[in-house]
A and B are shown apart, each in its own frame.
Chain A
Amino acid sequence: MNQIIGTSVSRKDGRAKVTGTATYGAEHQLPDLVHGYLITAKIANGRILNIDTQAIERSPGVMAVFTHENMPRVFTPTNDWANSQIYETRLPLADDRVHYGGQIIGLVVADTLERARDAAHSAAIEYQEEPVLVTAENATYEDSPPWFGEDFQFQEGTFETGDFAVAAADAPTTLEATYNTETELNSPMEPHALVAHWQGNDSVTVYEPTQWVRVSQGTYAELFGLPTERVRVVSPYVGGAFGAKAFPWPHGILCVAAARELQRPLKVVVSRRQMTANTGHRSQTEQTVRLAANTDGQLIALEHTARTCTSPVEVFSEPCTAVTPVMYATPNLRLGQELAVLNVGTPTFMRAPGEAPGMFALESAMDELAWELGLDPVELRLRNETQEHQRRGGVFSTKNFAACLSTGAEQFGWSQRQMQPRSQQQGDRLVGWGMAAATFPGYRGAAMAKVRLLPDETAHVLTSANDMGTGAYTMVAMTAAENLGLPVEQVRVEIGDSIMPDGGLAGGSQMTATLAPAVMNACQAVLETANAENAQQAFASLQESGRAAYEATGSAAPGEEGTEFTFQSWGAHFCEVTVDEDIARLQITRWVSVMDIGRVLNAKTAASQIRGGVIMGIGSALMEECHFDPASGHPVVYDLATYHVPAHADIPRIEVTFVGEPDLNFNPMGVRGAGEIGIMGVAPAVANAVYHATGKRIRSLPIIPDKII
């Protein structure tokens, strides 16, 4: 081993990205390319009576228009998570129904983007409107079905162990509070977009950003009745996804279908405004937490119920209570999830789905309990640690949560905290310190990678996995370099293409734990093939033999370890806020995050992932919210001017430290993911600091000036 793992390596794709040579989905240039523009509904519930397609077809440059009346036939995918999955079960242009504002109701294809756009905008459409429901307070909630689809039963809704009611009735201290979070938009920098290029009717290449190349390929194959190998998905770069680019959305299916009809390469870019309704979001949530504890802070009973919303055409139940059985030992635990249907677009996975808003409720409530008991919130958390997952069983394989808390507290200077709210000041500003815990499951899937050793003394790693800005290129290169005994510079990585071995899913923070072991195995296999101990020996033998290359494919998959262990990452955030109370101005001034994510593969990009998560968490804490016009149902927040994400000026220096140990029960590299844990606990850390600063407990996100004043 030449000790590359664990060092800081700058991202291999960085230069290509900052110089504009990285080719994203919509940037693939093809001869004879034509442009599609989506027609979207101006009502939020009802029927389309008529679309004047003849007028659209007469518009300059228009080659075709697709509506529910001429939508090409596509097959219903099996949606089994193994071969295919789509985000919205209703297929595009399935019928004349409009279920939510901005829903895709047609596609115009023209010779230029501008002409397609103009024709789509000018389309004359008659509707029959029906009453709209977009206000959660007026919705009807019912017990929630599983999270998303019948084959995705990671966390069922309702759960009870012990007897919450009896235990809570006798407890010396009880606390009940309701927390709200608003609708959030994934808002990746790269909009959703694709180019579909058919070769005849029986083979298609789709250039589209995707978090899961293999399932994207399988899904398009099923939709169009093709053998899998007749579909090629190319996704070398993904400009952010945060959960919303794992599977085809309606616009993708529509684009590929239209391209087949036209037998021309077709590009569809979803405008930022159209993304609000058609490419997912995180549902608003209303959560109630009831805690019962002994006077020493030991939890006796905990109830966490969550209400979230979905669209009329898909079940997606933001799983807020998933995190609760992981965090604190509670003999009497009750969890409930309810779901309502609104006339809004289909919600979906967004960085730490369920877990992030769930953690806001849980970690706010724990802070409230600490104040109630007069206990240090760090100490309260230490007293309630659990060593096993209280819902699905299994002891935690490794857990360094206490070290996260103690290291973070020390770095931050937590012991200097004046206990009372409103007791710390800087000039005329109140200063507050807050903390919250972080945790996220360690997920892992199956993956394959191919390694080639070439006479020019480079190693070439190929896998269908993708890099959505997380550092996967660099992670793969470092893993190969380590296992081949080569400098990182001599490893070339090509990813994001379905003609390469299945590299698995970049979702649920699992790409590194999934792919790195496969790359490691492929490296060992290629050295065995070369009968060499390291790459240098293999290169020498290539020279001697005149052979062109050594090549081997390696794979890795989880085994039975999950029946014994639960794999979970841990962390703690500490932050300082200043509040100029008189003018409701809040600034976050310090941030310390300490994380246990198993072995850290690339210290630089791992810390960057945590920082990105913290920044996104600060967004949800302070500014991110989407709203819908109550009368028409249309979103009134629909672009990066109306949907605020943090600017540089909102973000302090973020100190990130890792305290984990290799989780070798989980995978032979001992790594867990870094993608989502960074956002976990950020919003409650901020809210808890605001309480400490002002004495005001803000239980609804985001914490905007209206709520501070």
Chain B
Amino acid sequence: MKNFTYGRASSVEEVIEQANRDRNAMYIAGGTNLVDRMKAFLDEPSQLLDISRLEMQSIERTQDGGLRIDALVTNTDLANNANVRRDYPLLSRAILAGASQQIRNMATVGGNLMQRTRCAYYYDTAFACNKRQPGTGCPAINGINRIHAILGASDRCVAVNPSDMSVALAALDATVEVQGEQGQRDIPFVDFHRLPGDTPERDTNLEPGELITAVVLPPMAFAQSGVYLKLRDRASYAFALVSVAAAVELSGDQISTARIALGGVAHKPWRASEAEAFLQGQTPNQSTFEQAADIALQEAQPLAYNAFKVDLSRRAIRRALAVSSRGGGIA
């Protein structure tokens, strides 16, 4: 680990200016992933800009009835927020399905969005990795790739995004508020994370020096029926093999709107837009859900060790849709 300086930010504007002066500086809040990465020699920042004491810790109603969640709200506080539990239960459940209580107490909303893949090849500097060192190659493609991507991967990178919370935010059509030297801008959640393409070193569409300030949830009445289903190798404290955030809005006997996002399958939280479009106007039954699941996975390209994820994803989608169409709850 290289020596670095550490300083506490006194304002958003000032810390952004500091970050823009030094491209090797990094923001730190909870540090639950960044510190691990530094210890593994994956990140070697010149300075850590500690934003954790900035006044960005509240959750407030927006004028249109949604929620504005400051970037420094801890995962624990967000999951336990009464409005979130009532109006967006899938978000609460997604957060509680991840990490451990201790980590959730430290981790923040903004940091959760910025966590990087847990691909074992990325995490060990004994291996080449295009994400860590662009152009060196991806040994995971022909290696032990059981936990890797089945959707949207490239010949440069097959890593998956590890976040649970982000899968729920993708399904909820959230917006990410970011601030940079040029001022503030909004990024639709589905455009926040990137597919690997030729530049797997870039996880997100944040510009250098930009800081996440908030995540905004639009009002969504049917989110109360939302479901988060996480399938993994042990009952707690493991990343998703496959996860699904889903919500179904019914109008009489028909589905009027559906949302499906998948975790553990791609380099970003994966919105199954075509499957959502198909569900519109359909009758909620097993056959419908099966067709939707098939559509969601039709582009899947499994690797040597992860073909099971295709089938598991389909099954998880069917289950999540079925539970949501019955009003939600634990899937």
* Interface stretch of the complex, out of B66-74, B201-209, B312-320: B312-320
Cα–Cα, bound, A656→B236 (Å): 25
Kindly report which residue of chain B lies nearest to residue A117, judged by CB atoms: B1
Which residue from A40, A114, A630, A647 sits with its C-beta under 8 Å from B236?
A647
**Shortest Cβ distance from residue B256 to the other chain A in the assembled complex, whole angstroms:** 26
Report chain B residues within 8 Å CB of A638.
120, 124
In the complex with contacts A642-B120, A644-B233, A649-B236, A631-B312 CB distance below 8 A: no
Chain B residues whose C-beta falls within 8 Å of the C-beta of A631 in the assembled complex: 139, 142-143
Residues A636 and B144 in contact, CB atoms below 8 Å apart: yes
- B6 close to chain A: CB less than 8 A: no
Nearest CB in chain A: distance from B235 CB, A: 4
Residue from A118, A583, A585 with most neighbouring chain B CB atoms (10 Å): A583
Bound Cα distance A445, B2 (Å): 50
Question: How far is B124's CA from A638's CA once the two chains are assembled, in angstroms?
Answer: 9
Q: Which residues of chain B from 275 to 331 have any CB-CB distance to chain A below 8 Å in the complex?
A: 308, 311-312, 315-316, 318-319
Please determine whether B143 and A101 come into contact, CB atoms closer than 8 angstroms. no
Structural contact, A583 and B229, CB atoms closer than 8 A: yes
Stretch at the interface among A158-166, A467-475, A701-709: A701-709
Of A637, A646, A706, A709, the residue contacting B315 (CB under 8 A) is A709
Residues of A close to B315: CB separation below 8 A: 582-584, 709
B139 touches A629 (CB 8 A): yes
Nearest-CB residue, chain A, relative to B320 = A583
Residue A547 lies at the interface, judged by CB distance under 8 Å to chain B: no
Kindly state the separation between the CA atoms of A228 and B142 in the bound complex, as whole angstroms: 52
Tell me if A650 counts as interface (CB < 8 A to partner B).
yes
Interface centre among B142, B144, B234, B315 (most CB of A within 10 A): B234
Q: Does A641 contact B (CB under 8 A)?
A: yes
Q: Are A709 and B127 in touch, CB under 8 angstroms?
A: no
Complex Cα–Cα for A631 and B312 (A): 28
Q: Which residues of B contact A641 (CB under 8 A)?
A: 118
In this complex, what residue of B is CB-closest to A118?
B1
Q: Are B234 and A634 in contact (CB under 8 A)?
A: no
Note all chain B residues with C-beta closer than 8 A to A429. Answer: none
**Docked-complex contact B234 and A623, CB < 8 angstroms:** yes
Q: Are A634 and B124 in contact (CB under 8 A)?
A: yes
Q: How far is the CA of A102 from the CA of B143 in the complex (A)?
A: 17
* B311–A622 CB distance below 8 A: no
Q: Is the CB of A705 within 8 A of B312?
A: yes
What residue in chain A is nearest B304 (Cβ atoms)?
A630
Pair A647/B124 contact, Cβ less than 8 Å: no
| A543 CB–B CB distance under 8 Å | no
C-alpha spacing A705/B312, complex, angstroms? 9
Decide: B231 and A705 in contact? CB cutoff 8 A: yes
Residue of B nearest to A628 (CB): B144
Query: Max chain B CB contacts within 10 Å: which of A40, A102, A584, A646?
Result: A584
State whether the Cβ of A587 lies closer than 8 Å to any Cβ in chain B: yes
Partner of A583, one of B118, B231, B236, B238: B231
Contacts A121-B41, A627-B144, A706-B308; A632 near B126 (Cβ below 8 A): yes
A42 within 8 A of B: yes
Q: Which residues of B contact A634 (CB under 8 A)?
A: 124, 126-127
Interfacial chain B residues near A628, Cβ < 8 Å:
144
Residue B121 lies at the interface, judged by CB distance under 8 Å to chain A: yes
What residues of A have a CB within 8 angstroms of the CB of B144 in the complex?
Answer: 627-630, 636
A73 within 8 A of B: no
User: A652 → chain B, closest Cβ, in Å?
Assistant: 11
Q: Is the CB of A632 within 8 A of B139?
A: yes
Residues of A within 8 A of B311 (CB): 709
Query: Would A102 and B126 be within 8 Å (CB), given that A583-B312, A584-B312, A631-B143 are in contact?
Result: yes
B37 at the interface (CB under 8 A from A): no
CA distance A636 to B241 in the complex (A): 16
Contact between B120 and A704, CB atoms less than 8 A apart: no
In this assembly, does A648 line the interface, its C-beta being within 8 Å of a C-beta of chain B? yes
Q: Verify B1–A630 contact, CB threshold 8 A.
A: no
For A60, give the chain B residue with the smallest CB separation.
B3
Docked CA distance A631–B139 (Å): 8
B residues 224-243 touching A (CB-CB < 8 Å): 229, 231, 233-238, 241
Bound Cα distance A623, B72 (Å): 35
Q: Does B125 contact A (CB under 8 A)?
A: yes
In chain B, residues 142-163, which have Cβ atoms closer than 8 Å to a Cβ of chain A?
142-144, 146
The reply to whether B1 and A273 contact each other, CB–CB distance below 8 Å, is no
Interface residues of A in 626-682 (CB under 8 A from B): 627-632, 634, 636-638, 641-642, 644, 646-650
* A570-597 contact mask (Cβ, 8 Å, vs B): 1 or 0: 0000000000001111010000000000
Given A121-B41, A650-B236, A706-B146, do A42 and B126 touch, yes or no (CB 8 Å)?
A: yes
Q: How far is the CA of A223 from the CA of B233 in the complex (A)?
A: 44
- Smallest CB separation, B7 vs chain A (Å): 20
Contact check, A644 vs B234: say whether CB atoms are below 8 A apart.
Answer: yes
Q: Bound state CA distance, A171 and B119, in angstroms?
A: 51
**Contact: B233 with A629, CB < 8 Å?**
no
Nearest CB on B from A110, distance (A): 13
Docked-complex contact A623 and B233, CB < 8 angstroms? yes
B272 CB to closest chain A CB (Å) equals: 17
Q: Determine if A630 and B235 form an interchain contact, defined as CB atoms under 8 angstroms apart.
A: no
Q: Please, which residues of chain A bring their CB within 8 A of the CB of B234?
A: 622-623, 644, 646-647, 649-650
Question: CB-nearest residue of chain A relative to B145?
Answer: A636
Chain A residues lying within 8 Å of B318, measured Cβ to Cβ, are 582
Name the distance in Å between B137's Cβ and chain A's nearest Cβ: 10
Identity of the chain B residue whose Cβ is nearest the Cβ of A586 in the assembled complex = B235
Q: How far is the CA of A385 from the CA of B104 in the complex (A)?
A: 52
The chain A residue sitting closest to B41, CB to CB, is A121
Determine how close the nearest CB of chain B comes to the CB of A121; give it in whole angstroms: 6
Docked complex Cα distance between A569 and B241 (Å): 40
Chain B residue at smallest Cβ distance from A640? B237
CA distance A546 to B127 in the complex (A): 70
In the bound assembly, the distance between CA atoms of A516 and B125 in angstroms comes to 49
Q: With A585-B231, A632-B139 as given contacts, are A637 and B146 in contact (CB-CB < 8 Å)?
A: no
A644 vs B311: C-alpha distance in the bound complex, in angstroms? Answer: 23
Within the complex, what minimum Cβ distance (angstroms) separates B102 from chain A?
A: 13
Nearest Cβ in chain A — how far from B126, in angstroms?
A: 5
Q: Are B143 and A650 in contact (CB under 8 A)?
A: no
Q: Which residues 97-146 of A have a CB within 8 angstroms of B?
A: 101-102, 114, 117-118, 121
Q: Which of A582, A622, A628, A629 has the most CB of B within 10 A?
A: A629
Report the Cα distance A121→B41, complex, angstroms.
8
Given A121-B41, A631-B143, A647-B235, check contact A636 B2 (CB 8 Å): no
Closest to B2 in A: A118
A629 to B124, CA, bound (A): 12
Give chain B interface residues in 55-71, CB to chain A under 8 Å: none
Tell me, rounded to whole Å, the shortest Cβ–Cβ distance linking A98 to chain B: 12
Best-buried of A637, A638, A705 by chain B (most CB within 10 Å): A705
Q: CA–CA, A138 to B19, complex, Å?
A: 52
Q: List 30 A-B contacts (CB under 8 A).
A: A101-B126, A102-B126, A121-B41, A273-B124, A582-B315, A583-B229, A583-B312, A583-B316, A622-B234, A623-B234, A628-B144, A629-B139, A630-B142, A631-B143, A634-B127, A636-B121, A637-B120, A638-B120, A638-B124, A642-B118, A644-B233, A646-B234, A647-B235, A647-B236, A647-B237, A649-B236, A705-B241, A706-B146, A706-B308, A709-B308
| Residues of B in contact with A (beta carbons under 8 Å apart) | 1-2, 41, 118, 120-121, 124-127, 139, 142-144, 146, 229, 231, 233-238, 241, 308, 311-312, 315-316, 318-319
Closest 8 pairs (CB-CB, A-B) = A649-B235, A649-B236, A706-B308, A636-B120, A647-B236, A42-B126, A650-B235, A636-B144
Q: A584-B315, A622-B233, A709-B311 are in contact. List 16 more A-B contacts (CB 8 A).
A: A118-B2, A273-B124, A582-B319, A584-B312, A631-B142, A632-B127, A632-B139, A636-B124, A636-B144, A642-B118, A644-B234, A644-B238, A647-B237, A705-B308, A709-B308, A709-B312
